[in-house]
Amino acid sequence: MKLNKILILWILALFMGLSSCSSDDSEIDPTDDVTGQPDPDPEPQPDNPEPIDLSAYDNGSRVMMQAFYWDVEPRFEWWTNLTDKVGGWADAGINRLWLPVATKGQSGGYSMGYDVSDYYDFGNYNQHGTTETRFGSREELEELISTAHQNDVEVIADIVINHNSGGGLEYNPYRGYETYTLFDEEHGNASGMFNRNYEYFYPNSVSQYDPGSLFYAESNLDHHREYVQDWLWKKDNSVAKYYKNVMGFDGWRFDYVLGFEPWVVKAWLDEVGGFSVAELWDGRASVLRDYVNETGSGAFDFATFYKLEEGLDRFEDLNTLDQDMLWKTHPEKAVTFTANHDTEKDSNEDNFIKSSNKMKAYAYILTHPGYPTIFYSDYENTDFQDEIKNLIEIHNSIATGDTEILYIDEDEYVMKRAGTGTNPGLILYISISNSTKRRSVSSNWNNVTLMDYSGNSTYNPTSDENGAVTIEAPSNGYSIWSITE
């Protein structure tokens, strides 16, 4: 009887073991080289293949740095901190810096600038309890911009033209009570430029329109007023022209564009030009596309951000990466990102990508079309920096050519960039499986030994005469394949 029980238990164990093995032949068998045991069907491994020189394949692409995080420290030293870093960032392949709002806000030395008060106080007027902004003095900002230009790096201004804050109280007949809408030399606008009162906020004597801003509704600028248009972008010393011609800014990041109409951004760009990206916080690619088409501005690709967050974190299903994203139709207007100052401070877990998945997300945006943005806190993280630098080098060299998804399922994503001319392109392989994976795919490379330029795999497969090759992704990681010498 005891023997029969043992036999039954042995049969059950054998059955369960067989049923737990993946039917997917791309998964490494537990007796292969992953565990140091002989591979049952080993591929010949060439001796120390030589990588290609990525610097010889400059594809002209670069990346942008978001050069701040929420509540940066130390206060009053941020511009100097960035000045010291610009040269290294430029060497790494960064060609634009997105700076925080550079002018005085209601919170004075504690303000991140989004409570904008005086559009012309760059840290040179004593108001709201301080002369310097949170980030430093005007002279230090000018030194930063000059240093960036010396390194062929453009500087992008964060523009808040929806709401104002920090004005004086005045009786507002259109609301029937006092509002903080008086901005002059004594009330939050020490520069004396672009003074304003209740007539230039919604509602007023000529306009009842209100886009329904979620922020500072009582001091929401009315862009239909000629006076507001003159001071924001039309006059010779308008905000736009002063920032560009006097301060030396090269482009614009428009904050919270849901708070005003698209024609405002188009009119601004028609007047002064420059690189532009809009913060339209909407995960629908169709909405982003409509905005880009209407304004001519680029936009942060929130569609891609949320598909990455869903695929890597929320649903753990990489099939989300086959859905609609802005870069797929407007790659030249899609500014891709994995984190920003808002997502990293947001307590909503669906609004940020976990640290453990950050590098897979960066591998995605830095190999796909679009204009990637690097988040300061990620780059300055010593655990991430070398990896991000390497991904930037890959992006600026061999991440080029048509894009094709070679394979996708719940835990694997394989994408090919076809390359152009003599540029070989690449293949990205992301896996969220807990085991090392291998998959046979069709490449553009015939009879060539490949290597993983991310450094995450030491496997060196060789393609056959038709370009077929088996590539590998580490468990819960990524690899980026291209040719060797």
The binding site comprises 162, 230, 236
255, 310, 378, 412: which is the annotated catalytic residue? 255
Specify the amino acid at residue 136: G
Specify the amino acid at residue 6: I
59 secondary structure, DSSP code: -
CB of 240 within 8 A of CB of 233? yes
279, 282, 324, 393: which is the annotated catalytic residue? 279
Active site residue 279: yes
45 secondary structure, DSSP code: -
Active site residue 255: yes
Q: Under 8 Å CB-to-CB from 269, ≥6 apart: which residues? A: 252, 276, 295, 296, 297
CB of 466 within 8 A of CB of 444? no
Cα gap 479→451, rounded to integer Å: 9
Binding site for Ca(2+): which residues?
162, 230, 236
**DSSP strand E in 24-113: where?**
63-66, 94-98, 104-105
Neighbours of 292 (CB within 10 A): 21
Helices (H), 296-374: 302-309, 341-345, 358-365
Cα gap 164→259, rounded to integer Å: 12
183 secondary structure, DSSP code: B
Q: Under 8 Å CB-to-CB from 458, ≥6 apart: which residues? A: 452
Query: Which residues are marked as active site?
Result: 255, 279
